[in-house]
């Protein structure tokens, strides 16, 4: 085992985390005739307008929208665009982290610019970011007189809110929908918004009828099902009053990710993990409310040679770190395979198991997988032997972070039981503690 990793081995199992929320950021390379993500800046509501409809009241805010552009210094053209909005008189601007991630990950080759509704443009300064809540804080060199007020107060379920942004660079658009409280299966708070957000609206504000910001547009699952970052996270980022150095962006991302994971796993490891019956074996149920499990079986299919039962569980939250690279995943799964009219020898010879991480990242971001394997003796008999394999890989620019994958198997006559987990972006200590609890929580035979 290398000095970079925790310890056991793995052979490579198919780790497919089903959860996928599409980020609203649309990355437009120079071959595509881009789209404009404009941000919204607004002034406090004028009580004299109470008799006007909310959409008419909010129409005056369209002109305050900024387009946030990440520009390639060498190409001299935008490589991605999104929305942002002003939240202070001295020019603080909020957008999504994923909108400006290109400049965060490559500050020497990219810069961040604004483009407003008057046609003016200029460079923005990146002050701070929150990768967990997908937020970034910028500063405008010549701010407008008006700005949004952030409202962290409670919002009643069913209240109408209004999302503003510039989908596909077609012009500023207002989308109306209901505030439905917070997403139930999520570790961090996200607002469930029954409005149809579209690519290009990332980083734009979502408002009450009085023009105050209660959320930031961040993602959509389609069909009038969208997600917003709550205003409380915006207020915390502003109140932190930090200005990060570009030379330390990777270290800042690592520190935020580690702190988030520590609290998340401290709570998880202290819980009693529910066990459920699983095809004459034992599996784990939903460990916490932010995790959901799904299962299937092929036993009703015709002419099968192996009966297969499987169960997969995933945590809702994963963090965007860059193009084709994310972190924060928790996945665990179980399967039982039973031979039908096949000898035990043939059955086990034809079983092939593999796994691989699905959070992306290339060799500039992650080291190669380092795998080791050993047998665990569950009881004194040969039938009780469990083969446990663990693979780990380290984050190149983020010391202390690892992806960890485990596969444990037990073979009995014409049955094969497998238990698997994959964790993305955890510390060595978290990996060790989770591995021990996972292996000792199962009903090995």
Enumerate the domain spans of the chain. Answer: 13-17+271-440, 22-247
Res 40 pLDDT > 70: no
Which pLDDT score, from 0 to 100, does residue 81 have? Answer: 87
d(Cα 24, Cα 179) in Å, to the nearest integer? 19
| pLDDT grade for 355, boundaries at 50, 70 and 90 | confident
d(Cα 202, Cα 132) in Å, to the nearest integer? 16
- pLDDT tens figures, 392-438: 999 999 999 999 999 999 988 899 999 999 999 999 999 999 999 99
Which pLDDT score, from 0 to 100, does residue 271 have? Answer: 97
- pLDDT tens figures, 79-97: 888 999 999 999 999 999 9
- Name which of 346-350, 389-393, 414-418 the model is least confident about: 346-350
- pLDDT tens figures, 217-273: 999 988 889 999 999 999 999 999 999 998 889 999 999 999 999 999 999 999 999
d(Cα 287, Cα 389) in Å, to the nearest integer? 22
Res 33 pLDDT > 90: no
Which pLDDT score, from 0 to 100, does residue 86 have? Answer: 96
- The CATH T-level fold of domain 22-247 is Thrombin, subunit H (2.40.10)
- Kindly provide the b/e burial profile for residues 265-290, where b requires at least 16 CB atoms within 10 angstroms of the residue's own CB: beebeeeebeeeebbebbbbeebeeb
- pLDDT tens figures, 185-213: 999 999 999 999 988 899 999 999 999 99
pTM of the predicted structure, to 2 decimals: 0.84
Contact 257, 425 (CB under 8 A): yes
More confident residue, 388 or 52: 388
Res 159 pLDDT > 70: yes
In the chain, the percentage of residues whose pLDDT exceeds 70 is: 86
Which pLDDT score, from 0 to 100, does residue 208 have? Answer: 95
| pLDDT grade for 379, boundaries at 50, 70 and 90 | low
More confident residue, 442 or 395: 395
C-alpha angle 68-71-76 in degrees, rounded to nearest 5: 140
DSSP string for residues in 266-332: HHHHHSPPPEEEETTEEEE---STTEEEEEEE-TTSSS-SEEEEEEEEEES--EEEETTEEE--EEE
- Enumerate residues 6+ apart whose C-beta is below 8 A from 233: 130, 133, 135, 189
- pLDDT tens figures, 48-83: 333 456 777 888 888 888 999 999 998 988 888 899
What does the DSSP 8-state code read for residue 368?
P
Res 26 pLDDT > 50: no
Which pLDDT score, from 0 to 100, does residue 23 have? Answer: 43
d(Cα 343, Cα 383) in Å, to the nearest integer? 17
What residue has token string 């935008």? Answer: 78
């Amino acid at each position: 085992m290398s000095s970079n990793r925790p310890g056991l081995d793995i052979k490579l199992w198919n780790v497919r985390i089903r959860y996928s929320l599409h980020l609203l950021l649309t990355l437009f390379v120079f071959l595509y005739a881009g789209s404009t993500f404009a941000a919204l800046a607004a002034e406090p509501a004028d009580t004299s307008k109470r008799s006007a409809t909310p959409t008419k009241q909010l129409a005056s805010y369209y002109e305050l929208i900024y387009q946030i552009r990440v520009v390639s210094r060498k190409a001299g053209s935008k490589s991605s665009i999104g929305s942002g909005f002003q939240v202070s008189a001295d020019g603080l601007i909020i957008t999504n982290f994923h909108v400006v991630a290109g400049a965060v990950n490559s500050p020497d080759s990219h810069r961040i610019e604004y483009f407003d509704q008057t046609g003016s443009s200029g460079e923005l300064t990146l002050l701070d970011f929150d990768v967990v809540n997908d937020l970034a804080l910028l500063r405008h060199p010549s701010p407008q007189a008006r700005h949004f007020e952030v409202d962290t107060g409670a919002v009643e379920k069913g209240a109408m809110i209004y999302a503003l942004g510039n989908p596909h660079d077609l012009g500023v658009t207002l989308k109306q929908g209901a505030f439905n409280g917070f997403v139930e299966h999520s570790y961090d708070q996200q607002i469930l918004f029954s409005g149809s957000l579209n690519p290009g609206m990332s980083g734009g504000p979502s408002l009450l009828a009085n023009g105050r910001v209660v959320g930031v547009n961040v993602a959509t699952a389609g069909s009038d099902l969208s997600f917003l970052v709550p205003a409380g996270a915006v207020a915390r980022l502003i109140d932190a009053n930090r200005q990060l150095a570009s030379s330390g962006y990777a270290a800042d991302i690592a520190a935020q990710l580690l702190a988030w994971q520590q609290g998340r796993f401290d709570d998880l490891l202290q819980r009693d993990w529910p066990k459920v019956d699983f095809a004459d074996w034992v599996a784990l149920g939903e460990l916490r409310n932010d995790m959901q499990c799904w299962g299937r079986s092929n036993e009703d299919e015709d002419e099968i040679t192996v009966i297969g039962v499987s169960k997969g569980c995933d945590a809702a939250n994963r963090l965007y770190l860059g193009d084709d690279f994310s972190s924060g995943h928790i996945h665990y799964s179980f399967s039982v395979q039973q031979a039908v009219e096949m000898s035990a020898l043939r059955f086990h010879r034809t079983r092939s198991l593999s796994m691989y991480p699905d959070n992306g990242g290339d060799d500039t971001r992650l080291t190669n997988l380092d795998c080791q394997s050993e047998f665990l003796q569950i009881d004194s008999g040969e039938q009780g032997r469990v083969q446990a394999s663990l693979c780990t890989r380290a984050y190149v620019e983020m010391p202390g972070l690892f992806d960890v994958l485990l596969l444990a198997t037990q073979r009995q006559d014409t049955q094969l039981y497998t238990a698997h987990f994959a964790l993305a972006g955890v510390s060595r200590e978290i990996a060790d503690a989770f591995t021990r609890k996972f292996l000792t929580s199962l009903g090995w035979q």
